[in-house]
Each structure stands twice: as C-alpha cells, then as structure tokens.
Amino acid sequence: MLDTFREVWLCDFEFQADPGERPKVHCLVAHELLSGKRLRLWVDELGRNPPFSTGSDVLFVAYFASAELGCYLSLGWEMPQRLLDLFVEFRCLTNGLPLPSGNGLIGALVHFGLDSIAAATKTEMRDLAIRGGPFSDIEKLALLDYCETDVVALAQLIRVMADKIDWPRAVLRGRYMAAVAKMEHTGTPIDTDILGRLRSNWGKIKSELISRVDSKFGVFEGQTFKRDLFAKWLAENKIPWPRLPSGQLALDSDTFRSMSKMYPQVAPLHELRHTLGELRLESLSVGADGRNRTLLSPFSSRTGRNQPSNSKFIFGPSCWMRGLIKPTWGRAVAYVDWSQQEFAIAAKLSGDLAMMEAYSSGDPYLAFAKQAGAVPSDASKQSHPHQREQFKVCSLAVQYGMGEDSLAAKLGKPSVYGRELLRAHKETYPDFWSWSQSAVDQAMLNNRVWTVFGWELHIGAGETNPRSLANFPVQANGAEMLRLACCLATEIGIRVCAPVHDALLVEGAADEIRDVVVATQDAMREAGRIVLSGFELRTDAEIVAWPNRYMDPRGRALWDELTGILEDETLAVPRRVPPARLPGCPLRTDHPVQSY
C-alpha cells in the first residue's frame, strides 16, 4: 500500500502546550520514507506552508497525529489530505490485550521487539520542550536530535506494521485525528469571570453551598453527609432506594445519577455530592483567550471513544459546571445531539423491526412500554412519566448486559420487578436478543469483535465478559458515528468546540448559528446513514447566543445556588472586574431549534 503514494512523510514536532493553550512550536523533523530525504527545521526556519506536499498522493505519518496536526494549525498550515496514525493503528491491533510497556511510542516499539530511546532520556527531553524557550544552541540541537529519534522510530514501526494495517479504514481513522486537532484548536468558550470568582473563593462558597442545598434535605452534619439522615429523608418522601447486599443504601455516583433521572428532586443532592467529592476547579484547562482546551484522548477506551481528563474537560466534571460555557459577544454555541442514538443502533444492527418501529415513533422508551402493554396506546410522556423512565432504564440496562437484580436495584424495586421488565423486553424484541447473543458467541469463538469500520477489541484468555461483549457493538459503532460526524462537520468548516459522547458542541456567529446547526445536523444524519446502512437518526439542537450561557438541566439547581452565593453581598465574595462590552452589542436570547 505504501508504494501507491508518491511520497510518505514521517513527521514529529517538539512543542510547548500550557494548559488550555494552543501548541507553541519549537521544531520539526521529517523523513521521506521512499527517497530517504530528511528535514530538520527550527521554528524560525518554518515558513507559511509545510515543507512538503499535502496532496492526496502524499501520506503523512505520525504517532498520535492530533498533536502534530495541532502544530500545523498553530503554524497556519494546510492540513494533509491523507493521514496514517500509527498510535491509532497500534491501539486497533492490540486493543484489549495486555501491554506491559503501554501504548505510547516506546510501548509500541517494545511490543514489536524494536530498539527505543531510554525512558529517562525521553522524559528529560519532553520536560525541556515543555519548559519552553529561550533555548541555547546546545538545547536546540538536543531537541532536534530527540525529535529525530521519534521519526526514526516511526520508520521502524511502519515497516513492521504495514502488512497488519487495514489501509482504507486506517486512513479514515487518520482523518478523524485531523478533526480532533481542529476541535482541540477551537476549544470551548468559558465565562472566566465567574470561574475566577469560584476558584478564589471556593472554601467560603462550599460551606454556604452545603448549607443552602441541605436546607431542602437535612442530610448533612457540618460538611459530612449522613447515611441515616438520608434514609430518613427517603422514607419521608416515599422514594425507594437501591441497597447493597449488606442492606445499606447504595451511595455510589451511578446510583445517584440513575435515581436523579427517576426522581428529579434528588438531582441537587447528587450534584452537591459529586461537586464536594470530585470537583477540582483549578484543574479545568482554560487558556488566556478564555477557552477550555485539553487532550481529547481519541481511541483511548476499549470501544474507541475519546477519554479526555474528567478534571480538565468542561464536559467532565459536575453538570452544573457546564453553565460556565458562555459564547462571547456576537457569537453563539449550539448543542446538537442524536436522539436515543444507542437504541437506534441496537435496533438497526439487530434488524429487529419492532425495535426500529419504536425508534421511528419519536419516543422509543414510551413506545416500548406501549408495545409491552404496560401503558395505554394513547399514553404520553406527561401522563406516564415514571413508567416511561422505568422502561428507559430497562432499555439502557439491556444494552449494558445488566441482570434482573441490578436492574431492580437501579429502579429501587424488588428483583421480581427487574425480572418482569427483562421478560417484557425479550418478548417485545426477540430479534434483538437473538442478535445480541450471536454477537457474544461470535466474539468468544473468534477472540475478537469489531465495528462496521474495523475498530477491534481483542479478547484475551480468561478475560471474556459477556456483558461488555454484548455492549461493544452499540457503544463502539456509536463511537464510529461520532468520529465520522466530526470529520464531516470540521471538513466543511464548522467550528466544533467539543465532541460529547453522542453530541457536538458547535459555534458560530449569532446571526449565522441556525445555518451552522442545519449543516451540523446534516453531517450527523449522513454519518448515521453511513454507519447504519441507510437508517436515519434524528437529532435535537439547543442554541445559546450571547449574553446567555449554556446550561445542562441536571445542573441548573446547583448553578442557581452557586450564583446566588456569588451575588449575596452579605458573604462578601469579591467581584472581579468584568471585561468591557463593545458598543452596540445586541441582546440575544436562547433559541430552540426544531428537531429533524
């Protein structure tokens, strides 16, 4: 396959990337694999265009290419048209297998029995690059030499990996790494005024926050959550709560999350506990331009999904923190997500006509309840909210391979209730259950399972987990769909701020955002059709234009409490000086967008 390209360039940059900032390039080293041509260029020798062609007959090769392509964007260079990322392909070749030396460049070299630079030397040189300039002549030479060792390593790797790579799909995965670089370059606009006030006064705010939220619950003593007081509150409010085998209340985050969806009055307490236990405000990566940027860590999960740092990524921490997302003057953001994506993927891949019919109804969870005879045919989301939520939990539990006891525990019901829900699902969607079991059987027989575009999970001896195998087709093909949507959107110039599991946060001028949303929905719809062989998924969109902010409904109650504390003059929370507003800036409001 390599000989089909006119040139094959192996590239590596050294750069400095402070938290939230775009990379600051130090140098580039590149080797052309076929001719042996070599380039060693310091930043002041780099021009306005790449020193080699970016056309479709030239292959750009890197290890974790989004980092190198981030340097392309910082330099204002045109992106390569054909990309091969050996990190991604190594992940695909070894996903699920034990890797004693990890999946970094050294780990890949060790895996294939190739020579590598000493880890200590690599750390020393990486620290030098992170430190930044000015550099002495000796340091510049050392960085160029270090950079070249990585390029030499790429040459070794590509020779041993070339025959193992699924080339057409590998180039598609490389295409996604270009989209990742663009999304990391764009970042998400953050209200740095409120973030700064929260950071500098968090101790005082936290105590007052507990006091205000707990006034509705009475489950804290000081700053300590009390299990017995919570049990008393649950009893008074007639909320059945899942318990551990020991009989104690289950207080893990997953239980609180699922119960908050069924009983919204629990949501503020869930957000508070998550905030107190896991929030690290200082870790959120925000650059000097007020944008959240961090590594999206593509292909890092077993299903191929992104795994950005929970503490550094704005969509990682507590839901209320998403209220910090705020477009700047004259701008707007839009959150565009697939409707019930996982249900649709399971329906189409399994070929279950009843399941596809449920999805096409517009509300598959309510349709499931109707198909199972649990609610009347004229039932609505408003008339039967609890039944719909229970059948939704059942639908999602099935995709994760959850058993009757776990399902019942999530619902806070006896085991027999979970058993009956699962029975209803099996009787309503028999083709889905047959397909799901066949997928598990095939995976265990072949010791691997894969997506429509060839992302593989390898199953090692003694590591077979039927539940995770049953879940893989839906999650991994959902990841394929998101990756393709990111490619299609960024390639037509849409500013994608961040990918979020089954959604894209996009940005545009306030007076053009509706067109941006339509184009984004077109890209997402096309990605769905490609992955699911013509089956079309719906999308929803929420537009937020300056001076408003994005808000996740699950975090609104806690956000309101926090902003109330910031505005309470009796608490003497210092106010930062707000940035000056431009004259004549229009006042805009949130605009809902019709689903398609």
Q: What percent of the chain has pLDDT over 70?
A: 94
Tokens at residue 206, please?
């936290």
**Which pair of tokens denotes residue 381?**
């989301």
**CA torsion sign, 352 to 358 to 362 to 365?**
negative
pLDDT at 582 over 60: no
- Domain with 349, as residue range(s), is 343-465
Q: Would 378 be classed as within a structural domain?
A: yes
Whether the pLDDT of residue 463 is over 70: the answer is no
The CA distance from 552 to 318, in Å, is 10
Spatial CA neighbour of 495 closest among 189, 55, 175, 67: 189
Q: Is 288 helix (H, G, I), strand (E, B) or coil?
A: coil
Question: What tokens were used for 576?
Answer: 């930062």
Tell me the pairing of strands 7-16 and 58-62.
parallel
Predicted confidence at residue 584, as pLDDT, reads 34
Q: What's the rounded mean pLDDT across residues 182-200?
A: 95
Same-domain pairing of 450 and 570: no
Q: What is the pLDDT of residue 163?
A: 94
Question: Are 347 and 202 within one domain?
Answer: no
Q: What confidence score (pLDDT) does residue 37 get?
A: 97
H helix intervals, 162-306: 167-186, 192-200, 202-214, 227-236, 253-262, 267-278
Distance CA 158, CA 205 (A): 54
For residues 151 and 280, state if they share a domain: no
Residue 254 lies in a domain: no
Q: Which carries the bigger pLDDT value, residue 49 or residue 120?
A: 49
Domain co-membership, 169 together with 25 = yes
Q: Count CB neighbours of 209 within 10 A.
A: 19
Least confident of 287-296, 454-463, 492-501: 454-463
Mean pLDDT, rounded, for 256-281: 82
The answer to whether position 56 is within a domain reads yes
Q: Is residue 95 one of the residues assigned to a domain?
A: yes
Range from 34-43, 379-388, 457-466, 541-550 carrying the lowest mean pLDDT: 457-466
Crossing angle for the helix pair 404-411 and 385-399, nearest 10 degrees? 150
Residues 27 and 171 in one domain: yes
**Which letter, b or e, does each residue of 490-513 get, where b requires 16 or more Cβ atoms within 10 Å of its Cβ?**
beeebbbbbbbebbbbbbbebeeb
Q: Residue 450 is encoded by which pair of tokens?
A: 């894969």
In the block, residue with structure tokens 């306005």: 48
pTM higher than 0.85, yes or no?
Answer: yes
- Residue for token digits 């940059």? 13
By three-state DSSP, how is residue 398 classified? helix
Measuring CA to CA, how many Å separate 476 from each of 103, 184, 193, 423, 486? 19, 22, 38, 26, 15
**What's the pLDDT at 596?**
33
Per-residue confidence band for 328, with pLDDT thresholds at 50, 70 and 90: very high
Is residue 591 pLDDT above 60, yes or no?
no
| Residues 536 and 446 both lie in one domain | no
What's the pLDDT at 253? 83
Reading the block at residue 204, the tokens are 């005082």
Q: What percent of the chain has a predicted confidence (pLDDT) above 90? A: 70
Residue 287 CB neighbour total at 10 angstroms: 17
Given 465, 499, 517, the domain boundary residue is 465
The answer to whether the peptide bond before residue 50 is cis (omega within 30 degrees of 0) is no
User: What letter represents residue 528's amino acid?
Assistant: G
pLDDT for the residue numbered 126: 80
Residue 589 has pLDDT above 60, yes or no: no
Give me the sign of the Cα torsion angle 250, 253, 256, 262.
negative
Task: For tokens 């949130």, name the residue.
Answer: 590
pLDDT of residue 594: 37
Residue 590 — very low, low, confident or very high, per pLDDT cuts 50/70/90? very low
User: Does residue 302 form part of some domain?
Assistant: yes
How buried is residue 461: exposed, middle or buried, by Cβ count under 10 Å (0-12/13-18/19+)?
A: exposed
The CATH number of the domain holding residue 133 is 3.30.420.10
pLDDT confidence bin for 314, thresholds 50/70/90? very high
> Quick check: is 376 in a domain?
yes
Cα separation, 42 vs 63, whole angstroms: 20
* Helix, strand, coil percentages in the chain from 3-state DSSP, rounded to 5: 50, 15, 35
Residue 471 or residue 304, greater confidence: 304
CATH number at residue 485: 3.30.70.370
Whether 325 maps to a domain, the answer reads yes
Return the pLDDT at 278.
64
pLDDT at 200: 87
pLDDT in tens, 103-122: 999 999 999 999 877 666 77
Residue 425's pLDDT band (cuts 50, 70, 90): very high
